Amino acid sequence: MSSHAILTAEDHRDLRVRSEAAADLGDAVMGCLTFPDEFRRVQAEFPILFRLNPERDSFSALAMFGLEDGENLFLAEEGWTATYRPLALSIQPFLVGRNASGDGPGQVHIDMASPRIAKSDADGVRIFDEDGQPTPYLEQVASMLGELDEGYRASAAFFDALNRHQLLQPMAFEVPVEGGATNRLVGYHAIDEDRLRALDGAALGELHGAGHLMPIFMALASLGHLATLARRKVQRMDRG
């Protein structure tokens, strides 16, 4: 469904992109990818959980917005209701492209099939100005893409360390909903607090030296926001 193109001033001079948060623009998602360097910003508002990929050989980190598929409890009619909007959402519909070999500097690509490509000149934000120079919006997107790209690449070492110390454990979270039923969040992993407490000084020193200790604690602290999700869920149901 996607149609990726390298972004150029020649091809996209007059293109306008809708940068606002809205369900019909693809923001009705229960979570998005995040990475250790972003944990500090994410944990202030969202729970951070981990999930095994389908091949069950590597983990990724997710900022959670809802308790079921397609549910985003931070998205309201008036837009994004949290203070922070994670990078993986903010950069839409742009992405980092690379040549076939997969190395070398990344290029800014754009998904021309995205609903964020404005269909009317009355909507959206220009990405190039009349002289073909990037607008402040595109400059910011490019900077976010760079951070995101670097963040994903650096996260492999983080997950290696979590595996090595077996710091992830499967978790389940249940929210009572109407009529005595429960809404259950399953299939995710979280930091195992008991194992973290049991690590010896050498292990902690190693994690700290590699810069992993801080994001581990950030992810652990973020679990308090599971209650935030539950509260928002109940509020939303109360409003009908």
Partner 1 sequence: MSVSGQKKAGAPDREPPIRRVVVVGGGTAGWLAACLIASRIDTECADPVTVTLIESPDVPTIGVGEGTWPTMRGTMEKIGLAEADFLAACSASFKQGTRFDGWANGEANDRYFHPFTAPYGADRDAVTRWASAPGTASFAASASAQPAICERNLAPRQRQMPDYAGALNYAYHLDAGKFAQLLARHGVERLGIRHIGDHVTAVERGGGRVINAVITRDTGRIEGDLFLDCTGAAAVLISGEFEVPLVDVGGILFNDRALAIQVPQGEDAPLASQTNATAHQAGWIWDIGLPARRGVGCVYSSRHIEEGQAREILDAYLAGTGGSGSANAQDARLLSFCSGYRERFWEGNCLAIGQSAGFLEPLEASAIVMVELGVEALLEDFPRDRAALAPRARRFNALMRYRWERIVEFLKLHYILSRRTEAYWRDHRDPETIPARLTELVELWRDRPPLAADFSAIDEVFPSASWQYVLYGMGFAPPPAPPMRHTSPGAVRALAAQRDQRERSLLASLPSNRAYFEALGTPPERQKVTAH
- Round to whole Å and give the CA distance between 199 and 17: 48
Min CB(226)–partner 1 separation in Å: 25
DSSP state of 160: H
Alpha helix stretches (DSSP H) within the chain? 9-12, 39-43, 87-90, 136-164, 193-198, 201-209, 213-222, 226-238
Min CB(95)–partner 1 separation in Å: 17
- Round to whole Å and give the CA distance between 180 and 173: 16
Residues in touch with partner 1 (CB under 8 A)? 16, 18-22, 24-25, 77-80, 85, 90, 120-127, 129-130, 135-137, 140
Closest to partner 1 by CB, 55 vs 121, is 121
Using alpha carbons only, what angle is made at residue 60 by residues 59 and 62, rounded to the nearest 5 degrees? 140
Closest to partner 1 by CB, 83 vs 166, is 83
Min CB(84)–partner 1 separation in Å: 11
Closest to partner 1 by CB, 67 vs 91, is 91
Min CB(4)–partner 1 separation in Å: 22
Tell me the one-letter amino acid at 20: E
Closest to partner 1 by CB, 126 vs 165, is 126
